[in-house]
Each structure stands twice: as C-alpha cells, then as structure tokens.
Chains A and B, each alone.
Chain A
Amino acid sequence: MTPIPDPHSDLSIELNADEAALLDELPQLQGVGQSRRDFMVASAVGGLGLFASNLLAKEAALAGMPLAADAAVATIKAQNVVQVALTINGSPQTLELDSRVVLLDALRERLGLTGSKKGCDQGQCGACTVIVNGERRLACLTLVASLEGGEVTTIEGLADGDRLHPMQAAFIKHDGFQCGYCTPGQICSAVGMLEEARRGDVSHVTGDVARPVHRLTDDEIRERMSGNICRCGAYPGIVAAVQEVHSGRQTAQTWQFATQAQLAAVRKEDDHAAV
C-alpha cells in the first residue's frame, strides 16, 4: 500500500502526469479564481492541506491499481436522443442526450458542474436543489428534455466572480454546515425561498393564510427549508445564516479561526500526550 505522504512535502511530486493533467482540466473553482489543482496544492502548502493531500494520495493509489482484465466499460448507447437548448449559469448550452437524463446527471456528468449533489436521487433530501426559471426545484426529478429554453442557476452560478453570494457568505459566517454535502442544495433552496417570501407566499406555519407573509420568523424559515435535510444537524447555523440574509440584521459570528498562539498551545499538548 502506498504510504501516506508527509503533508509538508512538495505535493506536486506526488502527482503523476495523468493526475496533474486531470486536475488541470477540471473546471475553475467559482469565486476562487484558480484551478482545482492549484487550490489543493496551495492549501496543502498553506498547512491546511492534510485532508487534501490525503485525498490526492488515495487517488494516486487508486490510479496505480491495475484494472481487472474483463473490466472494460461497456458503452451505454443513448436512446431516444433529444436536443435541448437552455441556459446554465448564464451560458447558453445545447445538449443532445438520452431522453431519460435528469438535470442533476447532466450537470454533474456532462457539464462538470458537480456542486449540485446527488443525495437520495428521488426527491426526498434536497441536496440537488437548483434554481430553474427563478424557482427552486429538484434537479433529480427534472428531465433535461423538459427544459427547452429554460434558465438554470446552480451553486456555481451564484457568486459574482470572486464575490460570494450573500447567502454563501452567511453560511460560512454562521457555520451552516459540517460535511458540506447538503450545502449547495441548502444555499440554492434558501435563495429561492427568500424570493418566495418577497412575494408574500405563505407556509404551513403561517397563522392566517389570507394575509401575505413578508417577514419570516425562525419557525417560518425552518418550515420553508424542511425540504433540505442535513444529516450533520447544522440546522441552527443554517437558520441563522438565512435569517441574517433575510432580515439584513447582522448577527455576531460565534466562531473564529484559531490564533497561532492557540495552535501552538494545542501542538504542545499533543507533544506532551505523546510522551
């Protein structure tokens, strides 16, 4: 088994030519403005990269494993091919695909937009939430064929260049995630949901549905976001983030990055424990 490399070593040495090319070909990280490879290398060099370099080491190990002789991948033949012209994150696309392809798979497998996540793939978790023609919808239950002329916004399309969408910034500020898998869906859902609130839409917890609701309580936010499941249970942070963007009232960030002194103190304790 390939040993896990020292995270402080020069990461580029660990990549073979194929992997380097693969990483370079991945789409630019929106809002970061650099290639995924540069991002991972930079974060590794920056001392935050233990996770990233482990990941790369595992990928390198997997890449080194010989394929079984009979593992040749059968080509899946597209059937009932449809041609669809639509706009994704402001860019016009014309896709030719099997009529069975849902938006989630087209985004992830055809367009390299892997921000939208596949959770349950049957409309129960919300991880694939994207915005279609201004409305939040589930990409796993939307046939691309039905989107002729449509406008799709995914998590990759929310930021304005290097400037995060306010909802993205609020999720970071309020720690609205742990593993991050549900986060793109949560953020797209929250952005769509606040548009619904601007229209005055009512919900299951609205007292009198005859009156429009524009000002959302935390209970209203919880109810309206119930289609997005978070298994880490980051709900308090999610509600705080959505409420801050909705109300415009800045609330204090409850966490900070550790200072160098704090990190040094922790390292010292670890050394002590090791003795």
Chain B
Amino acid sequence: MRPFEYVRASDAASGIAAVGTTGDAKFLAGGTNLLDLMKEDVERPTRLVDIGGLPLRQIRRTRAGLSLGALATNTETANHPLVREHYPLLTQAIVSGASGQLRNMATNGGNLLQRTRCNYFYDTAMPCNKRAPGSGCGAREGLNKIHAILGWSEGCVATYPGDMANALYALDASVRVRAPDGQERIIPVADFHRLPGDTPERETQLAHGELITSIELPIASAEFARNCHYLKVRDRASYAFAMVSVAAALDMSGGIIRQARVVIGSVAHKPWRSAEAEALLTGKRADVVTFERAADIALRDARPLAHNAYKVELGRRSIVRALMRAARLA
C-alpha cells in the first residue's frame, strides 16, 4: 500500500474541506472496498479523511419518508424496524450482499460508491480505461462472463456490482450531498450513477469533495412493502456477487397492478431500471404471461459480449421469477 496522510474529520465541513483541497484525497467510511483497492494498488489516495466519527448515522422518520444516514451501517439499515416494515425490498437487497462482517462495516454512502469488480480493473498489469483512462479495455475482447449486456461502451463493459442500490432505484430514493461550498443538493438515485461512455473513470454525478450525508426514501414507496422481492442469482448460494439480480416491486389492488418497479442488477454500469417494462405492467392483471412480456421488453436492447449471452436469458427468467414472488404467485 502506498503511503497516505490520515486525517480524522471532526465535523462535516472540515472533512469536506480536507478532501476538497487535495486532488487525490478520499473520504474513508467503512473502508471495505477502498482499503481492498488500496492494497491492490488500484486506489492511490495521498490523503484519507476518516468521516467515521461524524454524526451521520441516524435513521429517522421525516415528513417525506425515511432518512437513512450515510454512515449507518448496512446491518443497521437492513435491520431497522421502519426499514423492515415499510421498505422490506431494501432489507432483502442488503442482506443478500457480502457477509455479516462486511455488512457491519460497510456504510450506506460507501455502498453506493463501491467500484466495479471487473477483473481487468483490479489487475494493474491489464489495460483499463476506468483505472487508467486511455489505456484501453481488457474485458471488451477478454474474459467477460461477469460484464455488461446493457448500456456499455467500447471503452468500458464493467458492471456496477452492488445490491443495495438496485433496491434504492426501485424505491425512488434520492441522495443528499453536501458540497465544499456548504451547499446541499439532492440527486435522484436514478441519476446518481453514470453510464461509461467515453469517461468510465467518472462513475457518479458527485464532484470531488462532495459528501453523501443521507439517502432519502419517499413515503410513497412504502406502497410496495407488501409485494416486493429481491432475487439474486450467483455462482454459490451466499457471499458472492450477482451474475444477475432483480429488484421487483408491485403496488397491487385486487390482482391488478397499479404501478410497478423493475430494476436489473449486474447487467450494466449502473442499476438498470426498465421504464418500458414498468409501463407495460401498469394496469395489467398480475400473471405469468404479463410478466414474461415485461421481461422480454426489459432486455430487448441487450447486447451480450463473447462470454455473457447467458445473462440475457438468465435476466429474463429472473425478472419473471422476481415478479411472480412479488405478486405472491410463486
């Protein structure tokens, strides 16, 4: 690991300033992804600003819904009584990821910012436009079983690997951030992550020095509490990243779908929400034929690489199964 200066932030403003004034400084929260990448020499910050002591750990009810502190751990968030009761999809997504130890360390803000698990990104001997812009993409013509089938560019075929964010996309969450000038802004989570395009090194809308302070869940999304399901398909039954995952949420009345959410994970550079599938489901009776049509539409534009064509059919079937379980038909 390369040397770095360690700074403990005493308050948000000084922490943000300590990062904002140094180009390659980073915030340190749970550290589960950052420290791993520093050991691998992929991340090379010269300064780490530890925000672990800041009072951003609260999970509290607001007039608009539920506010999840950026520093609440994944364990605290998944097991909070209000999350379990009103947003069980988020609980399901979080506990499907990582391990107990990692969920005790990982924070909500850090989870949103986790980097791809692309092998070429991790291997500093390989070209990677995300790690070293302009060096090329090793995965495009390399081993790309775990890579993207949607929204990729010639410069980057990496996927966003997380689970929590898939549920947040389905629940119309938003991300509250504070900038170095003290201004706060709220970013709808659907706009938070970026597709790779020509700048895969820029993964989110955050500017340097901006700090996530909370994630907001709207009250309206509690309508999905009864009919939701998070399905994760992976190489082993536990403690592995998804090959494909689906966050499915339905708001139903008498067997009719009032509104729907379909988000597919690990198929693109960001959680992939299908507005077309959701539109198709709206107003329809919940049944397997309708779900199959929605799944077809959701993956209509899929462009698989040499080794991941399986993700198209796996994704299709996963959407159907997740919707069947959400509708309590399976």
Contact = CB atoms under 8 A, between A and B. Distances in A.
Interface of A: 79-80, 82, 98-100, 102, 121-123, 126, 129, 135-138, 141-143, 145-146, 148, 189, 192-193, 196, 199-204, 206, 209-210, 222-228
25 contacts: A98-B3, A99-B48, A121-B39, A123-B102, A137-B105, A141-B32, A141-B105, A143-B6, A145-B8, A146-B52, A192-B104, A196-B75, A202-B79, A204-B92, A206-B95, A209-B84, A209-B88, A209-B92, A210-B84, A210-B88, A222-B238, A224-B100, A225-B100, A226-B239, A227-B98
B100 A143 contact: no
A204 B28 contact: no
B26 to A, nearest CB: 13
Contact of B79 (A126, A148, A201, A228): A201
B78 interface: yes
B239 A227 contact: yes
Contact of A202 (B8, B91, B105, B238): B91
B100 A82 contact: no
B40 interface: yes
B88 A145 contact: no
Nearest to B39: A122
A136 B3 contact: no
Contacts of B48: 99, 143
B238 A204 contact: yes
Given A122-B40, A126-B101, A202-B84, A80 B4 contact: yes
A20 B39 CA distance: 37
A227 B99 contact: yes
Contacts of B100: 136, 189, 192-193, 196, 224-225, 227
**CB-based closest 10 A-B pairs:** A227-B99, A226-B238, A99-B6, A226-B239, A79-B3, A135-B104, A209-B91, A145-B6, A141-B35, A100-B1
Nearest to A145: B6
Nearest to B236: A226
Interface in B25-77: 28, 31-32, 35-36, 39-40, 48, 50, 52, 75
A127 B33 CA distance: 18
Contacts of B92: 204, 209
B99 A226 contact: yes
Given A210-B84, A226-B99, A141 B75 contact: no
Contacts of B6: 80, 82, 99, 143, 145
A270 to B, nearest CB: 42
B85 interface: yes
B144 interface: no
B318 interface: no
A210 B85 contact: yes
Nearest to A144: B6
B5 interface: yes
Give the bracket for the number of chain B residues in contact with chain A. 35 or more
B96 interface: yes
A143 B99 contact: no
Contact of A141 (B8, B31, B85): B31
B33 to A, nearest CB: 9
Contact of A138 (B39, B78, B105): B105
Nearest to A101: B1
A126 B102 CA distance: 10
B3 A227 contact: no
Interface string B226-244: 0000000000011100000
Nearest to A147: B52
A148 B104 CA distance: 18
Contacts of B31: 141-143, 146
Q: Which one of B5, B104, B237 has the highest number of Cβ atoms from chain A below 10 Å of its Cβ? A: B104
A123 B36 contact: yes
B124 to A, nearest CB: 14
Contacts of A210: 84-85, 88, 225
Contact of B102 (A121, A138, A204, A225): A138
A193 B96 CA distance: 16
A123 B239 CA distance: 11
Contacts of A222: 238
A133 B85 CA distance: 27
Contacts of A204: 92, 95-96, 238
A146 B28 CA distance: 9
Nearest to A223: B238
A199 B88 CA distance: 18
Contacts of B85: 210
A98 B48 CA distance: 13
Given A143-B31, A204-B96, A80 B88 contact: no
Contacts of A121: 39
A206 B98 CA distance: 16
Contacts of A200: 79
